[in-house]
């Protein structure tokens, strides 16, 4: 698990670094403008559907089913399943893409109702035109997730983990080469999204071919394997992607707030995605095939031990990540995004939402890690019920926090959306954890009280060091870019060193990351 997580984590780290580079360029070129808000909505809709259908529900249903076929040792049966799933999935995706492109005006009316301002139709029309270019991304990237599921099942984690790097490279290239040629600059970014989806799919196909699974797709919704995947997938559509639904609902509400709110949430969410991707997504990707195999072989103790190791990693590494993001929110945003176009107000507003998101980071990561405990057992109904509860909690707190904040005309109402999302994430994680414990699926190993003591003390020391070493935003803005980068790296490096030295002093060793029941 360590080796595979390290591979996926490193590939994800590379992708996140390039993603940061992309976002820095976006911030310096477009800041928190109306055009950037429009592009982010047009990109978020297909991206949301990707996580909802492809990486979320589909992958959680497809990987266990493919693993079951693989364990039977019949390669022809596996090839037959892949042919029919690719044909059926591709057919549905093409239809969804066609509908999305044609119905783009209606889609924007639903997901960005705040843009239906009779006094300014230009933002609405721009977003519709952008969506018609970006929507086919769902077709390409869902097939990418399908191919990635095959590679992950056969232990080839590096290729799927590297694939997102191409998205960032294409979008960075589009900013420099396509954007200047456009009358409306953000149109160049939309074209970049389309091309990135196509390139990612073409990149993975040779690796599937090398495994002997690259065959002509066949449409057959009645195929037994396809029916089983659909049966598992339908309820998982909701359960696997509650966090994404929450973020999309935040976008809908943010469209009703002041211009820039969507961009502020985007930049802060991207920073939160860094530790979430490196730790949460990497762990979830790696443990799903292992848990599926352990469930099929009825290795209950190994199943529980795998979950326990993953949760322990989340606590040891996720908590300090959350503390670090909270304490260094403004310095990170100033260093990455601060420019002549990305003003002090943009830094302050983005920092507010990042601090709010940081409260829920551990919850977000735990959800990623706990969901495979259900899907590996082909239980997709329970996460749905829990997910609905978490979604309701999110909407309730959106109303309780954002509405009064907005009505009082106090700056930063968008941060209330991030607070509600964080509360929802922890609620989702707690309910998933409680169910696994209650039904005997997961039993914690010995020593958790000591783990919590070590983590709390080490984080307390780290927080104190960061608190006394902090600088005001004005001081960060007064420094040159190299000075900001150096100071930020020193702060992060000091925080990491202090935290792990404290853990070592408190008795944490390598074996604590790999406990034996």
Q: List, for residues 367-405, the tens digit of each pLDDT value.
A: 988 988 887 887 878 888 888 898 889 889 988 998 899
Give me the chain's average pLDDT, please.
85
Are 453 and 315 in contact by the 8 Å Cβ rule? The answer is: no
Tell me what pLDDT residue 15 has: 81
> What is the residue extent of each domain of the chain?
33-236, 241-517
Specify the pLDDT at position 188. 95
- Percent of the chain, pLDDT > 90? 35
pTM higher than the cut 0.75: no
Cβ atoms of 137 and 197 within 8 Å: the answer is yes
Predicted confidence at residue 517, as pLDDT, reads 43
Is residue 249 within 8 A of residue 395, CB to CB? The reply is yes
pLDDT given for residue 5 in this prediction: 64
Q: Decide if pLDDT at 460 tops 90.
A: yes
**pLDDT tens profile 400-418:** 998 899 888 888 898 999 9
Please enumerate, as own/partner, the contacts of 51-54 that have beta carbons within 8 Å and a separation of 24 or more: 51/241, 51/244, 52/237, 52/240, 52/241, 52/244, 52/245, 53/138, 53/142, 53/237, 54/138, 54/141, 54/142, 54/144, 54/145, 54/146
pLDDT of residue 193: 95
Residue 363, SS3? Answer: helix
**Hey, what are 396's tokens?**
């309730």
Residue 95 host element (H or E): helix 75-102
Element (H, E) at 189: helix 186-210
């Amino acid at each position: 698990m360590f080796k595979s997580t390290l591979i996926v984590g490193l590939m994800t780290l590379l992708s996140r670094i390039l993603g940061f580079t992309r976002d820095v360029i976006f911030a310096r070129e477009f800041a928190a403008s109306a055009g950037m808000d429009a592009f982010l909505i047009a990109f978020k809709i297909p991206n949301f559907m990707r996580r909802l259908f492809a990486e979320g529900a589909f992958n959680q249903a497809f990987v266990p089913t493919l693993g079951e076929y693989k364990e039977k040792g019949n390669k022809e049966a596996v090839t037959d399943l892949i042919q029919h799933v690719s044909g059926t999935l591709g057919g549905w995706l093409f239809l969804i893409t066609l509908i999305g492109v044609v119905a783009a005006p209606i889609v924007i009316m639903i997901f960005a109702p705040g843009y239906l301002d009779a006094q300014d139709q230009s933002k609405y029309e721009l977003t519709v035109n952008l969506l018609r270019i970006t929507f086919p991304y769902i077709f390409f990237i869902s097939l990418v997730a399908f191919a990635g599921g095959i590679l992950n099942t056969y232990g080839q984690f590096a290729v799927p983990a590297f694939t997102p790097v191409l998205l960032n490279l294409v979008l960075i290239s589009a900013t420099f080469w396509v954007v200047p040629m456009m009358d409306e600059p953000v149109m160049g970014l939309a074209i970049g999204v389309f091309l990135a989806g196509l390139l990612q799919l073409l990149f993975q196909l040779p690796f599937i071919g090398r495994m002997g699974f690259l065959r002509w797709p066949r449409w057959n919704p009645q195929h037994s394997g396809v029916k089983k995947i659909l049966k598992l997938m339908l309820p998982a559509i909701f359960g696997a992607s509650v966090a994404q639904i929450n973020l999309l609902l935040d976008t809908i509400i943010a469209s009703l707030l002041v211009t820039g709110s969507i961009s502020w949430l985007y930049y802060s969410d991207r920073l939160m995605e860094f530790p979430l991707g490196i730790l949460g997504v990497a762990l979830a990707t790696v443990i799903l095939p292992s848990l599926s195999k352990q469930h099929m072989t009825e290795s209950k103790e190994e199943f529980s031990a795998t979950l326990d190791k993953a949760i322990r990693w989340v606590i040891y590494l996720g908590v300090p990540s959350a503390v670090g993001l909270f304490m260094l929110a403004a310095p990170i945003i100033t260093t990455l995004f601060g420019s002549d176009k990305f003003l002090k107000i943009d830094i302050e507003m983005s920092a507010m939402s990042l601090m709010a998101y940081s409260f829920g980071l551990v919850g977000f990561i735990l959800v990623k890690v706990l969901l495979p405990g259900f899907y590996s057992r082909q239980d997709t109904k329970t996460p749905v019920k829990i997910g609905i509860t978490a979604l309701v909690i999110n909407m309730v707190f959106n109303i309780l926090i954002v509405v009064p904040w907005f009505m009082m005309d106090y700056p930063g109402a968008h941060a209330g959306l991030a607070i509600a999302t964080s509360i929802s994430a922890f609620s989702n994680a707690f309910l998933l954890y409680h169910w696994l414990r209650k039904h005997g699926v997961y039993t914690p190993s010995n020593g958790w009280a000591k783990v919590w003591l070590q983590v709390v003390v080490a984080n307390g020391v780290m927080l104190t060091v960061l608190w006394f070493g902090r600088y005001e935003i004005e001081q960060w803005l007064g420094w040159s870019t190299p000075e900001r980068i150096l100071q930020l790296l020193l702060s992060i490096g000091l925080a990491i060193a202090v935290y792990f030295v404290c853990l070592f002093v408190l008795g944490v060793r390598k074996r604590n990351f790999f406990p034996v029941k």
